[in-house]
Amino acid sequence: MIEPRDDLTLGKLSLSYRVLFTGFLLVIGLGLCMAGAQIMLTHGMADGKPGLSMNDIVYSYYGNRSGSKMEAALTGQMKSKAPDDVRFSMIQWVRDDAPVAEWIKVGPLFEKYCASCHDATSGLPEVGKPEVAKGLAEIDHGASIASLTRVSHIHLFGISFIFLFVGWIFAMAEFNQRWKLILISTPFAFLVLDVASWWLTKFWPGCAWITMIGGFGYSLAAMVMFATSFAQMWLPRWTKK
């Protein structure tokens, strides 16, 4: 096994490279935290409760096939937005397959209780409009094939570049050679596993746990590589040799 050449270890890099790599790792680290927060805020709330759970993952990819987004909202996050009898009429309408003819009755309710937030400027679905309300009343089939394809390719291209550079920097660290190879390769393996798990969950909701493991796996590998790289670039123990 070829060990890194002595002049290539992180502690011996010139200040310029250490500053460059530190800047890169700090920004990427911040990006990863934001990605985590974004997952908590979007997928994390999919089941109407804060925090990422297995149900969130199932709802996001497989969908909540026991009901529609509208019903889930009316019994979950939006529960406090209208009195019970109003929500009851709305849910009845949703369960009757959202007949357009009945809109004269329920339309004004959506207009009165919901449209104040769900207006054109809010970026939220305009539930005061019949076609929007009807769309949300359909059974939720989760992520579409089109959106999964789009997100998958962006994810695979984008994240592999992040780990190429993170791994490149970490490759210059002094570290047990076997563990170094494992740490450099795991993020790529987990990345493929993660994306594969979305597709599997789309068709078999029982696969949601793979998504959890995928995300956990590369976060852990990234943390070890970050911490080691920072330490060896700046702590005297490595720079003073």
- Closer residue to ligand HEC in complex, CB, 77/144: 77
Which amino acid, one-letter code, is at 192? Answer: V
Of 167, 165, 175, 166, give the one whose Cα is nearest residue 4.
Answer: 175
- Kindly tell me which of 136 and 221 has the beta carbon lying closer to ligand HEC: 136
* Of the candidate residues 81, 126, 152, 196, the single one contacting ligand HEC (CB under 6 A): 81
166 binds ligand HEC (CB under 6 A): no
CB of 97 to ligand HEC, least distance (A): 16
Closer to ligand HEC by Cβ: residue 136 or 193: 136
CA distance 241 to 234: 12
The distance of closest approach from Cβ of residue 142 to ligand HEC in the complex, given in angstroms and rounded to an integer, is 12
CA distance 157 to 164: 11
Cα Rg of the chain, angstroms: 24
The two tokens of residue 223 are 């943390």
Please state, in angstroms and rounded to a whole number, the distance separating the CA atoms of residues 138 and 63.
Answer: 11
Biggest CA pair distance of the chain: 80
Q: Find the binding residues for ligand HEC in span 39-78 (CB under 6 A).
A: 45, 69-70, 73-74, 77-78
In the bound complex, what is the minimum distance in angstroms from residue 120's beta carbon to ligand HEC? 14
Nearer to ligand HEC, 18 or 87 (CB): 87
Q: Which residues within the stretch 84-143 sit at the binding site for ligand HEC (CB under 6 A)?
A: 113-114, 116-118, 124-125, 127, 136
Distance (Å) of CA 217 to CA 88, 166, 183, 202, 225: 44, 15, 10, 21, 13
Closest approach, Cβ 73 to ligand HEC, in A, equals 3
Distance CA 208, CA 206 (A): 6
Each residue 185-224 as x (binds ligand HEC by CB under 6 A) or -, in order, gives: ----------------------------------------
Tokens of 2: 């070829």
Q: Do 201 and 61 contact (CB within 8 A), yes or no?
A: yes
Q: In this complex, which beta carbon is closest to ligand HEC, that of residue 51 or of residue 236?
A: 51
Query: Smallest distance from the beta carbon of 228 to ligand HEC, in angstroms?
Result: 37
Nearest to 197 by CA among 183, 210, 188: 210
Vertex 218 angle, CA 198 and 61, to 5°:
15
Q: Measured from the CB atom, is 3 or 131 closer to ligand HEC?
A: 131
Residue list 9-28, contact with ligand HEC (CB under 6 A): none
Binding site for ligand HEC (CB under 6 A): 45, 69-70, 73-74, 77-78, 81-82, 113-114, 116-118, 124-125, 127, 136
